[in-house]
Chain A
Amino acid sequence: MSNIQDITKPEHLVYRKTPLLTDNVMHYCPGCTHGVIHKLVGEVIEELDIQDKTIGVSPVGCSVLAYNYLDIDWAQAAHGRAPAVATGISRLHPEKYVFTYQGDGDLASIGCAEIMHACSRGENIVVIFINNAIYGMTGGQMAPTTLLGQVTATTPYGRDPKLNGFPMKITELLAQLDGTCYVTRQSADTPGAVRKAKNAIKKAFQNTRLQKGTSFIEIVGTCNSGWKMTPVDSNTWMRENMFPKYPLGDIKDI
């Protein structure tokens, strides 16, 4: 009944890759959450029509090369310093949409001071925080968000609170600060979750337009390479272990 010419007519188009994503081949492992979130950020920038006003700050971590994948202006920051770099950009370009994209090691460990104070000052920026409970880039060492008992390259017998301390819920901490206007925790493991995450990212960029302060979006994600699991098992492990510790939903919205 329908042939290929018919199906591929422009009026039958149901999905297209946002032009904000470049054609560069992503270096991410199959199943990694980073790629999905890049796409969402790209779609939001396209839908809000702010490509010419958006500046991203990439971290040190697996997403350091995010600048190769989103077709916007980018600054690459030192490990953990993205919120300070974004502060500098945003203060000098108050009319621009400035966001950081950071992992859990970058944001919650080495960059703890920078994220705290950027949020405390209420810098008019968006922070996208990918919590995969591990240092993906350096080969799967313990992160501040690593769960108790979780095996990593530096907790080969599982994270022991006596030895390694406790997992850190930095997002709840940041919600306490007066400078944050929107703090939420999302995931990207189902189509529904992806849609919700996208809405959160969109709202965050709209907050920048309204000069509301810092919008903070945590994405609980997987690192199947670091976790040494298949992508499907990673999602199951994440739902069973990460979600109870890092419950999804809005924490603050003013």
Chain B
Amino acid sequence: MKGNEVIAEAAIRCGCDGYFGYPITPQSEVMETLMLRKPWEETGMVVLQAESEVAAINMVYGAATCGKKVMTSSSSPGVSLKQEGITYLAGAELPCLVVDVVRGGPGLGTIQPAQSDYFQATKGGGHGDYHLIVLAPASVQEMNDFVDLGFELAFKYRNPAMILSDGVIGQMMEKVELSPFKPRWTDEEIEKISGSWALRGKKNREHHIVTSLELDPYGQEKFNRKLQAKYREIEAKEVRYEEIACEDADYLLIAYGSSARICQKTVDLAREQGIKVGIFRPITLYPFPMEALAKWAGRVKGMLSVEMSAGQMVYDVRLAVNGKVKVEHYGRLGGVIHAPEEVLEGFKSAFGL
């Protein structure tokens, strides 16, 4: 199945209550698949084509206030439009899932795959001090798995989660083991999970207000400190990464998503030439695997951040190793996908090999 189709199927299977979207290449298959599947007949899941990405994310906001499992998907220009809603969701501590199938920018850019929205995804994206929980799938299988995981983390921390994919993973066809069906939450389950804040009509309790407004700066500071404490907890508990051929490595390629797939071939090519290279693949981009990566700083001669961008994650890699090892970047830009051989050349010239 195609990565984008799998997102739709996984949403239905994990008991998602609602999807709100607006068409944009290269992810339109998500909503198309949902409309074709008609989950409202099967599970009662709502699927609605909104008038814009701005409306779609605000529908997600509204639906999320009800304690429901809701999501949207888009690609770079659309995700830029969603930033207003995303910061409101973070500010109101609402769980939801946002899928970003990244394409090249800036502006209208290109419809080809890119990884140039790392900053936007991991550093907040909209205004204010906040973070999304960002998962980076490197396969169609992970497109499936991260839908459920994204919702799980979003509800655990009452924070929006994002799947940061790209046009390669979204359009790629691979074998996938779909998750088993989970029913949608019942009213009783929602009451148990989100009963303290969800909007379900006031009865025998104080009225619930979902808002991100706080006029008193000291009140806002207090709230922001609470958010920060939550992020520290996420950083302590939710880091995920993968190490490939690292044990004997002299050099590490740091890559996520489709770049990590490309780098696997680069590793083979390098090892054929006797250069011991491994891959460190961050799976959560926020929280970024700072400590896990720092451990390699004294053990390898260099790190190359491989991203289809002008170099964004490379800043986090440098922060992680804090000057203890040389960190360079390699990547094609604007929708060009680097070939494994190009990455190898880039790697060799970066470290004078």
Contacts and interface: CB of A to CB of B under 8 A. Distances in A.
Contact of B58 (A81, A90, A116): A81
A71 B63 contact: no
Interface in A79-130: 81, 84-93, 96, 113-114, 116-117
Contacts of A86: 62
Give the secondary structure class of B's interface.
mixed
Interface in B76-113: 84-85, 88, 92
Contact of A74 (B50, B70, B208): B208
B201 A81 contact: no
Contacts of A89: 62-63, 65-66, 199
A57 B62 contact: yes
A146 B207 CA distance: 36
**Chain A contact residues: over half helix, strand or loop, or mixed?**
helix
Interface residues of B, number: 38
B46 interface: yes
A76 B66 CA distance: 13
Interface string B55-82: 1101111111110101000000000000
Contact of B70 (A84, A88, A90): A88
Given A73-B199, A117-B55, A88 B60 contact: yes
B54 A113 contact: yes
A67 B65 contact: no
B92 A73 contact: no
A27 to B, nearest CB: 9
Interface string B97-132: 000000000000000000000000000000000000
Given A78-B88, A84-B62, A91 B55 contact: no
B210 interface: yes
Nearest to B88: A78
Contact of A55 (B60, B61, B92, B199): B199
B200 interface: yes
A58 B62 CA distance: 12
Contact of B64 (A52, A68, A73, A88): A88
A78 to B, nearest CB: 5
A84 B59 contact: yes
Contacts of B200: 73, 93
Contact of A73 (B50, B56, B208, B213): B208
B59 A91 contact: yes
A64 B209 CA distance: 12
27 contacts: A57-B62, A67-B207, A67-B211, A74-B210, A75-B62, A75-B199, A75-B210, A75-B211, A77-B61, A78-B88, A84-B54, A84-B59, A84-B61, A87-B48, A87-B62, A88-B20, A88-B63, A88-B66, A89-B62, A89-B65, A91-B18, A91-B59, A92-B68, A92-B70, A114-B54, A116-B51, A117-B51
What are the 9 A-B residue pairs with the smallest beta carbon separation, nearest first?
A: A88-B62, A84-B58, A85-B62, A76-B211, A88-B63, A88-B59, A52-B203, A117-B51, A81-B58
Given A64-B213, A78-B85, 16 more contacts: A51-B202, A55-B199, A68-B209, A74-B207, A74-B210, A75-B199, A76-B212, A78-B84, A84-B58, A84-B59, A88-B60, A88-B65, A91-B63, A92-B18, A117-B50, A117-B55
